[in-house]
Amino acid sequence: MAARKANLRIGAGASYAGDRIEPATLLAEHGKLDYLVYETLAERTIALANTQRMKDPDTGYNELLEERLRAALPHCRRHGTRIVTSMGAANPLAAARKAAQIVHDMGLGPMKIAAVLGDDVLDYCRQHADTLPIMETGLPLSSLQGELVSANAYLGADNIVQALQQGADIVITGRVADCSLFLAPMIHEFGWAGDDWNLLGQGQVCADMVECGANVSGGFFADPGYKEVPDLGSLGYPFLDMAPDGSCVLGKVDGTGGVINRAICTEQMLYEIHDPANYITPDVVVDFTQVRLEEIGPDRVRISGGRGRPRPEQLKVSVGIKEGWIGEAELTYAGLGCVNRARLAEQVVRERLRIGGVQLEELRVDYIGLNSLHGAASLPTPHEPYEVRLRFAGRAKNRRDAAKLAGEVETLVGKGPSMSSLPRTCLREVLAIYSVLIPRSAVEPRIVMEVVA
């Protein structure tokens, strides 16, 4: 199919639920974008959103949706930029209605806001729990102990494309594969066929570069003295300049902080890739092995050479389940002998947990600054530190035992070795994430359009 546009610029406005707002707004104002994408979901994010929606059916979407839209919409409207976002989380319909209200209140109509529904497959997973193997364990889903609270399939780009074809100015989705949010505008604007696997594979490679947002502008790359990133505080968010053949040039707004180079792009391309010749997405199985990265100017990298094969017949589902409680507590010991006092405090807490009959499935004790990341593999310190942070974390099936751990750490105040800060405690319910595969036929996507005159 002939391309409808000669080029296309897609900006990455967010890469997680709580991402910064100001850089995305600057991108909308000065980036000369055709599309602005806010990708805001992770596996646990949508599970938490589902638990919120269970308490209040009018919630469950990204809590920054209103702030983001109010900041960026005037610029998007002025420049003709369309928005694609997964900020709908567990409730895309409520998010679309909220967006319509914002558009109306700001006097930015007429606009169309599409909600893409259908990723919620909790009922299907409950009904087929005995026959759905868990990808992480191979056991059936029914083997899990606890309350299933969410099951969301990773939808692809096709439903977003339909919404764009229907004239949507804003498309709000639930669980959609991250890169599909970027791939959909390419398919729509360039008229790519749904089975042109090499085009889709190349487009997916470009989308993969920006789905983590400012990571590819230097975020998460900086290592002073080894990998320098200028002006990290005002990091510029990236955009893709797409060509109809699927190649792209990655860049950012001139004058913004950060850097885009071949090394950063290489790191990002390797991120989360298990088999670079067979990277499975809902839209295409991607082959990264022939990708070429070429620096063509300051903060500009050309990306080409991606290929693809037919998409899988199954969709991955992220399942959220309540699995008990975690009690946490931290306190600081400082001065001479601080490590010995911290070790004594650990012994005291362990003994009091035994006396109290506290049942913990797991107890972790960390000395932050000494061994909290690498445990027994940590390098010995030549000198005893002058301060150490002691952290307890205990996992229990019931709330009472998790709370008891936090409580026993608190009792160290006046009943344990001398400390330098009062304990900070936290009690939270465990929301575990597992994965299953379901047939595409089990998903029934639909689009609901909100129109603002």
> Do residue 300 and residue 334 come from a single domain?
no
State which residues form the domain around 213.
8-119+153-312+441-452
Question: Which whole number is the average pLDDT over 388-414?
Answer: 95
Positive or negative: CA dihedral 239, 243, 246, 250: negative
- On the question of pLDDT at 358 being above 70, the answer is yes
| Count: domains in the chain | 2
User: Does a structural domain hold residue 34?
Assistant: yes
pLDDT, position 3: 52
Question: Does 414 share its domain with 301?
Answer: no
Question: How does pLDDT run across 377-392, given as a tens digit for each residue?
Answer: 888 888 888 999 999 9
> Same structural domain for residues 260 and 348?
no
**Per-residue pLDDT band at 1 (split at 50, 70, 90):** very low
Cα gap 138→140, rounded to integer Å: 7
For residue 420, which of 385, 383, 374, 381 has the smallest C-alpha distance?
385
In whole angstroms, what is the distance from residue 176 CA to residue 85 CA?
9
Does the pLDDT at position 2 exceed 70? Answer: no
On whether both 329 and 384 belong to a single domain, the answer is yes
**Entry pTM:** 0.94
- Interval 291-304: pLDDT, tens: 999 999 999 999 99
* Predicted pLDDT at 271: 86
Closest to 160 measured CA to CA, from 138, 183, 140:
183
Q: Does residue 289 carry a pLDDT above 60?
A: yes
Q: Are residues 283 and 402 in the same domain?
A: no
Considering the domain boundaries, does residue 406 fall inside one? yes
Q: Average pLDDT over the chain, rounded to whole?
A: 95
Q: What is the pLDDT of residues 44-59, one digit of tens each?
A: 899 999 999 999 999 9
Count CB-CB contacts under 10 A for residue 377. 7
pLDDT in tens, 89-123: 999 999 999 999 999 999 999 999 999 999 999 99
Q: Per-residue pLDDT averaged across 442-446, rounded?
A: 95
- pLDDT tens digits along 307-324: 999 999 999 999 999 999
Which CATH number is 422's domain given? 3.30.70.1120
Both tokens of 291, joined, read: 């990708």
Which tops the pLDDT comparison, 331 or 372?
331
Cβ atoms of 116 and 160 within 8 Å: the answer is yes
Residues 358, 263 share a domain: no
Q: Residue 343: its pLDDT value, please?
A: 95
Q: Residue 4's pLDDT band (boundaries 50, 70, 90)? A: low
Same domain, 307 and 239: yes
Supply the pLDDT for residue 267.
93
In this structure, the answer to whether residues 308 and 324 fall within a common structural domain is no
Whether residue 88 is found in the same domain as residue 199: yes
Q: How confident is the model at residue 372 (pLDDT cuts 50, 70, 90)?
A: confident
